[in-house]
Structure 1
Amino acid sequence: MRVGFIGLGNVGGKLAGSILRNGYQLDVHDLNPLPVEKFVSLGANRAATPKEMAGRCDVVITCLPTPSACASVVEGPEGLLEGMGPGKIWAEMSTTDADETRRLAGRVIAAGGEAIECPVSGGCHRAATGNISIFAGCSRETFERALPFLTVLGRRVLHTGDIGSASVLKVVTNYLATANLVSLAEALVTCKAAGLDLNTSYEAIRISSGNSFVHETESQVILNGSRDISFTMDLVAKDIGLFQNLAQSHDVPLEVSPLLNRIFADAIDRYGERELSPNIIKRLEEATGLEVLANGFPPEMIDDEPEEPGYEVKPTQDVCIYDEREGADG
């Protein structure tokens, strides 16, 4: 199987590395020539256009920052659609709008190809080792064809249903991570203001009901001072904006989501779109005159989980909940 990869940024570059590391023929394309040159030096092939890549690859993966960027790659001049045909798969790994993904997937399918949306979750450090989680939205037939390369890209692969379902779940999980990040910023600044030792505070949260994936990753780079989780405020704003739009389209009267959108809009006004997302804590550091720093924490996260073949995660079904008042059949 020959795989093409378009979008070699913070996440895409690491995912493409897993493809190359595991022995696949790899073609690469990016508007930035530097990562392309790096991959070519490692044995990948350069594709001048998405059309060229689609013409010679069995699978073309896109991992791009915005829905408009993806649309341009798929249906623009020299785009993927011009090279798609029977037996070829387009795999969309971006965090994007579900309706736009469905629209583009429809065009790929109409051109004779297959489409799968497969956004990832778990942080750049896990993308680098092939241990990240993948949500896959597509037909079951396409999922079965895609599973061999998906289990190279990620450790845990969940078939979420039809096209669009994975994009919705990815936006939901990114919204939850953002809410956790903001609440952790408030908690850490409050611990500092109360005179608590921040190393002890970190451990107290980690071993308690307050623990989370975000705490075990982003709190560490916050306390280190690097604040480097390879994710920026403009990307957070995009993701939580997509979640807000999703909820509004279904008439869900959210209360926390609008506040998060205002918080990040204010932070972008202060620090710029490309500021690292954990620096959302700077708003509170500046308001209190405190620095939330501690010794012994790493400047970036490194995945220490050994790389192993991935597998399909299957949702729990047909669970019988025992109720003593009614018996096992209740």
Structure 2
Amino acid sequence: MKVGFVGLGNVGGKLAGSLLRNGIELHVHDLNAELVAAKVVKGAKAAADPGALMQACDLVITCLPSPAACAAVLAQMLPHVGPGKIWMEMSTTDADQIKAHADAVIAKGGEAVDCPVSGGCHRADTGNISIYAGCTRATFEKVLPILTHMGRRILHVGDVGVSSTLKVMTNYLATINLLSLCEALTVMKAAGMDLGVTYEAIAASSGNSFVHETESQLILSGSRDVNFTLDLVQKDVGLFQKLADDNGVPLELSPLMIKMLSDGQRRYGVSAQSDRMIERLEEATGLSITAAGFPTELTDDEPEARGYEVPLRR
């Protein structure tokens, strides 16, 4: 299967790298020519535009920063979609939009997969990230061999659109966890606790989480660079809020989060790293929420292995 990849940014570039590392014939496109050149050096073939990718490949993956970018790229690819062509969207996007795009692809005789990832850039880099796939079972079985080169745990969630809905939820949970950890670490510092001990106490407790084991380390090292920016966080939390509004669920935490994130963007920039939210509390208290011995960037210590489909509980 010839695979095309559009979007070689923080996540997409790492996913594409996993495909190359595992011997997949890969054609790539990105608006940043340097990102394309870096993949060509490793064996990829450059494509002039997304339409050329769809013409040349059996499967084209998109991993883009916004629903608008996804729509623009699909518009270029759609004239070249037909039987035997598969489009796989790996961005985090609006479920209604992805369903509309998928319908357009299917109407042309192609197949569509909605498959965002979860687990952080460091796991995307090693092929150990988790992937949700929304599509028919027949399509899932076609793309599963490709997915298992990019991710460790592959979950077939049902129809197109289900993956995006679930991913928006998980990003909402990750964000509220980040904000609560910022408060917890600051309160412990103010109370005179050693932050290295505090980190380990959380990690060994019922308060532990994936976000703590990753982002708390970057906060404490002072790096505050998790490769995920506030504009992307706002997009995801906003999509979750829209989902709640559309379904008549009165949320209390989500609107507060949006307000806090907006304040962080005013202070540090629209596209500041999301871990810089700790600095709001540092400024308010005069405390430094840092500790010795923590890494400035995350690495995945789980050995790379071929991925597998996660069985559902029925």
Smaller-chain TM-score bracket: over 0.9
1:82 to 76, 79, 82: 79
Q: CA deviation at 1:86?
A: 0.6
Q: In 2, distance between residues paired with 1:27 and 1:84?
A: 16
The reply to whether residue 219 of structure 1 matches residue 216 of structure 2 is yes
Q: Please tell me whether Structure 1 or Structure 2 has the larger radius of gyration of its CA atoms.
A: 1
Quote the residue 2:172 is aligned against: 175
SS at match of 1:267: helix
Q: CA deviation at 1:273?
A: 1.3
User: 1:96-127: CA deviations, max 9, x gaps?
Assistant: 00000000011111111100010000000000
SS at match of 2:132: strand
Q: In 1, distance between residues paired with 2:300 and 2:6?
A: 24
Q: Counterpart of 2:39 in structure 1: which amino acid?
A: F
Quote the residue 1:68 is aligned against: 68
User: 1:159-212: CA deviations, max 9, x gaps?
Assistant: 111010000000000000000000000000001111100000000000000000
The reply to whether residue 17 of structure 1 matches residue 14 of structure 2 is no
Quote the residue 2:240 is aligned against: 243
Quote the residue 1:2 is aligned against: 2
1:111 to 108, 115, 120: 108
User: 1:5-62: CA deviations, max 9, x gaps?
Assistant: 0000000000000011100110000011110011111111011011110001011000
Q: In 1, distance between residues paired with 2:167 and 2:139?
A: 20
Quote the residue 1:270 is aligned against: 267
Q: How does 1:181-260 map to 2 (within 5 A)?
A: 181-260=178-257
Q: In 2, distance between residues paired with 1:37 and 1:147?
A: 28
Query: Structure 1: which 4+ aligned runs deviate by more than 4 Å?
Result: none
SS at match of 1:91: strand
Q: In 2, distance between residues paired with 1:273 and 1:34?
A: 24
SS at match of 1:5: strand
Quote the residue 1:328 is aligned against: none
Q: In 1, distance between residues paired with 2:245 and 2:255?
A: 11
Give RMSD over aligned pairs.
0.6
Q: In 1, distance between residues paired with 2:73 and 2:6?
A: 9
Quote the residue 1:29 is aligned against: 29
Q: In 2, distance between residues paired with 1:189 and 1:72?
A: 43
User: 1:255-297: CA deviations, max 9, x gaps?
Assistant: 1111101100111011101211011111111000111000000
SS at match of 2:236: helix
Q: Counterpart of 1:126 in structure 2: which amino acid?
A: R
Q: Counterpart of 2:30 in structure 1: which amino acid?
A: D
Q: In 2, distance between residues paired with 1:138 and 1:125?
A: 27
Q: CA deviation at 1:88?
A: 1.0
TM-score computed with the length of structure 2 as normaliser: 0.99
Contact 1:53 1:83 in 2 (8 A): no
**What percentage of aligned pairs have identical amino acids?**
63
Structure 2 segments unaligned to the other structure (5+ residues): none
Q: In 1, distance between residues paired with 2:43 and 2:34?
A: 15
